[in-house]
C-alpha cells in the first residue's frame, strides 16, 4: 500500500492533516532514515518504516474487528447521549465504522472495519450473507409463521422483508436468519408474525459464530484472515 503520510497519520489519530503538516515542518516525522519536511510525501507500507518522534508507527491498510456487543451501546462513531461501540475496540484509527447496526438493546456479534469493499459485501442484500439472530418474545406467533417468513413479510411502512428462515425453538424463542438489515428488522418481522421481541442477540454473521470467537460480552479483537474468509 502506497499512501500519503498526512493521510495515514491522521487516520491513526496523530492529529488533523494540518497538524501533521506542522509536525513534518518541525522535523518530527521520519521515513526510514530520512527526516521529511513535507507531510504529503508517500510511504510504501510494505517496504518503508514510518517514525514519529523516534517511535515507529505501525501502518496497516485495513483494520477489522469482531466485537461481542453488549446492550446499552449504539452502533455509531459518535453519540451525544449513549456510549458507542467504538469505545470497545482498541484502535486509534478514525475511519473505522460498524458494519451495519445492532439496536441499542440488542447484543451479539458485530463487525467493525475501515475496509469499504468488505463493508459493502457484508451489508449488501445481493451478497446473501447470513445474519442469524436468537430472539425471545411475548405473544403467540401465527400458525404459518415459518411459511410466511420464507415468502417475505409486510413489516410496515411500505417495506417487505426478503425471504428468510425462521426456526421455532420453543413457545417464546426463535432463531431467524436474514440477508438484509432494515431498521429494527427482526423486531418488525416478529411483530408481523404476532410476537413482541423482549430479547435479541445476533449469534452469527456469515460463517462466523459468536460462540466460536471466545469473546466475553464487551470484548473485541482484530479478526484473523481465516475469519475474514468465513465472513464472505
- Active site includes 44? no
- Angle (nearest 5°) at CA 211 between 132 and 232: 50
Find cell 418481522 and name the residue.
Answer: 189
DSSP string for 65-103? EEEEEPTTEESSS--SSSEEGGGGS----SS-EESS---
Find cell 504529503 and name the residue.
Answer: 40
User: Which member of 79, 103, 130, 172 is catalytic?
Assistant: 103
Please measure the distance between the N-terminal and C-terminal CA atoms of the chain and give it in whole angstroms: 23
**Cα dihedral value 133, 63, 89, 206, nearest 10:** 10
Maximum separation of any 2 CA atoms in the chain, in Å: 72
DSSP state of 121: H
- List Cβ neighbours of 226 (8 Å cut-off, separation of 6 or more): none
Q: Give catalytic residues, as residue numbers.
A: 103
Amino acid at each position: 500500500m502506497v499512501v500519503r503520510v498526512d493521510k495515514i497519520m491522521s487516520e491513526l489519530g496523530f492529529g488533523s492533516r494540518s497538524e501533521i503538516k506542522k509536525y513534518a515542518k518541525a522535523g518530527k516525522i521520519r521515513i526510514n532514515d530520512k527526516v521529511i519536511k513535507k507531510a504529503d510525501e508517500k510511504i510504501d507500507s510494505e517496504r518503508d518504516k514510518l517514525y514519529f518522534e523516534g517511535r515507529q508507527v505501525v501502518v496497516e491498510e485495513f483494520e477489522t474487528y469482531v466485537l461481542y456487543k453488549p446492550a446499552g451501546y449504539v452502533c455509531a462513531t459518535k453519540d451525544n447521549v449513549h456510549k458507542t461501540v467504538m469505545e470497545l475496540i482498541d484502535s486509534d484509527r478514525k475511519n473505522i465504522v460498524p458494519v451495519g447496526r445492532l439496536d441499542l438493546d440488542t447484543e451479539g456479534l458485530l463487525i467493525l472495519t475501515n475496509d469499504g469493499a468488505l463493508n459493502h459485501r457484508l451489508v449488501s442484500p445481493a451478497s446473501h450473507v447470513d445474519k442469524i439472530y436468537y430472539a425471545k418474545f411475548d405473544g403467540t406467533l401465527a400458525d404459518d409463521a415459518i411459511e410466511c417468513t420464507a415468502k417475505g413479510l409486510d413489516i410496515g411502512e411500505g417495506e417487505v422483508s426478503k425471504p428468510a428462515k425462521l426456526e421455532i425453538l420453543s413457545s417464546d424463542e426463535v432463531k431467524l436468519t436474514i440477508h438484509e438489515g432494515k431498521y429494527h428488522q427482526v423486531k418488525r418481522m416478529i411483530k408481523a408474525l404476532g410476537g413482541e421481541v423482549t430479547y435479541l442477540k445476533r449469534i452469527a454473521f456469515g460463517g462466523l459464530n459468536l460462540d466460536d470467537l471466545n469473546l466475553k460480552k464487551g470484548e473485541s479483537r482484530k479478526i484473523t484472515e481465516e475469519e475474514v474468509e468465513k465472513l464472505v
